[in-house]
Structure 1
């Protein structure tokens, strides 16, 4: 599946206040779901000694799907194309790799 296809299809499930004019809801949802991913990893370390099994991987995949959904909704709210966002990110990272600036801080290095 292409990212744009996912973005378009996932939009049919967007049920939140003022969808189409609401940056706040998908932004908060994105941070919440990213927090759930982090919490699962934290508990993996705390409770299971960092041992990854099939169930953990499946649980993280579900949470990452939720993260992706919110990313798609936020991109749609901003009129962004997910394929273009992904391609732009790869170009940026490729440029940093060529210039030896993958490490460091700031978006415009």
Structure 2
């Protein structure tokens, strides 16, 4: 997820509910408090959207970190087993193959 694209989209989406494209006040915005309620709702939704994207990015980073840690432990375990097998091969003069 690209947090930058969200921030740019929020900046680009400065909604003006008070005026139409010709600069005239709309009838909906003249209703008592409705324009402010819609504006506040849009701001809350934008803030929630940004928060959700941040949380998803955080969880994705955490998931990748956990997967890399698991892979590292696997490789370390494999190396220990190969070392043990080499020691046993040397001790008993056998070749079991790796």
TM-score normalised by L of structure 2: 0.36
* Larger relative contact order (CA 8 Å, sep ≥ 6): 1
Structure 1 or 2: more helix by fraction: 2
